[in-house]
Amino acid sequence: MSTQFTVIITTKNRPNYLQKALNSVIQQTSQHSHIIIVDDGSDVPVSQQLKAAQHQQCKILRNDKSVGVSAARNQGAQATDTEWLIFLDDDDWLSDDFLAKMSDSTKAMPSPDLVWPSRTMMYENKGVQISKRASVPFSPETQNSDEVLAGLFDATSSGMAFRRSSLLKVGGFDEGLTVSEDRDLIFKLLANGYCARPEQNAVLFFRIHEGPRLSQDEKAERQAKADLTVLSRHRQFLSSHPKLADRFMGRVAKRLWENGFYKDAIDVINLQCHISPFSLRARKRQIGWNLLTLFKLGKSLAS
């Protein structure tokens, strides 16, 4: 028997993308699913944009004023009672057998609480696609191992399947975060002992485009604060999983440095080297950034 899913699509002002995302769910080879669309303040309500046949396939929740991606996802999670939820951003779409493959993983042992798919990156204006497999093959012996969890860092909440009861127990998405909210939720689940596993044969098509993504914030300062908040909250957990920490902290440090938050970047890279002392990339950045900082300081004092 197939697992019952609710696919929750969050959207705002992207009707063309939404059509593809929605149709990818409707056209699944496994039809054991419900669909909720959370219209987070679109200028033209989604209910006026769908065809009659599409209306019959889904439930629409409308926010006249945008509440943000995290709150919109939580809103969708509260509006259903299926055991499993799959979140889908409106600019992504699913492979035809996505739900069938995810259903197989939800029934595996040990019983998972979080399942993430493989991704194919679709570069909209370049006609390029790059596939990313969902980590290493899973086996009970590698449950929540560093080898498995390191691959989880390449995933996002779009396309992920969550056991609804587990997600609600940890409070769902932090509605105060407009970016890095998926990392925060994943770390909360793992830190509370919930089981994660990859499903290599389920494929999410992840669109890369020039327009804004629902979960992005254009302000570098807010991005930096969100990254540092997530790192501070989950420092103890990350310290126990050095491979995952190396990937997460490395990306955070790089983003901070590129946006001019040099002191924060060096603090993160120093912590990364402490947790993952054999990370050559982290060591190179640590040495290089400290030298650059000293050089800039020296030039400042000289002038």
Per-residue pLDDT of 74-98, as tens digits, reads 999 999 999 999 999 999 999 999 9
pLDDT value for 64: 97
Where do the domains of the chain lie? Answer: 5-208, 220-302
Give the residue with greater pLDDT, 298 vs 176.
Answer: 176
pLDDT value for 141: 42
CA distance 241 to 197: 16
In b/e form, how buried is each residue of 75-106, taking b as 16+ CB within 10 angstroms?
Answer: bbbeebeeebbbbbbbbbbbbeebbbbbbebb
pLDDT over 90 (residue 46): yes
Question: Of all residues in the chain, what percent carry a pLDDT higher than 70?
Answer: 85
Class of domain 220-302: mainly alpha
pLDDT over 60 (residue 217): no
Backbone angles phi, psi at 297, to 5 degrees: -65, -40
pLDDT value for 152: 75
The DSSP H or E segment spanning 163 is strand 161-163
The helix/strand/coil state of 291 is: helix
pLDDT value for 215: 43
Mean pLDDT is lowest, of 146-160, 244-258, 271-285, for: 146-160
Torsion angle of C-alpha atoms 135, 139, 141, 143, degrees rounded to 10: 50
pLDDT value for 134: 54
CA distance 39 to 25: 17
Mean pLDDT is lowest, of 97-111, 115-129, 242-256, 287-301, for: 287-301
The residue-averaged pLDDT of 8-24 equals 96
pLDDT value for 81: 92
CB atoms within 10 A of CB 283: 15
Using alpha carbons, select from 240, 248, 246, 237 the residue that is nearest to residue 272: 246
196: β partners: 114
- The CATH architecture annotation of domain 5-208 reads Alpha-Beta Complex (3.90)
pLDDT over 50 (residue 58): yes
Question: Of all residues in the chain, what percent carry a pLDDT higher than 90?
Answer: 63
Most confident by average pLDDT, 1-10, 39-48, 184-193? 39-48
Give the residue with greater pLDDT, 290 vs 2.
Answer: 290
pLDDT over 80 (residue 129): no
pLDDT value for 128: 65
pLDDT band at 61 (very low <50, low <70, confident <90, very high): very high
Per-residue pLDDT of 146-192, as tens digits, reads 666 777 777 789 999 999 999 999 999 999 987 889 999 999 999 99
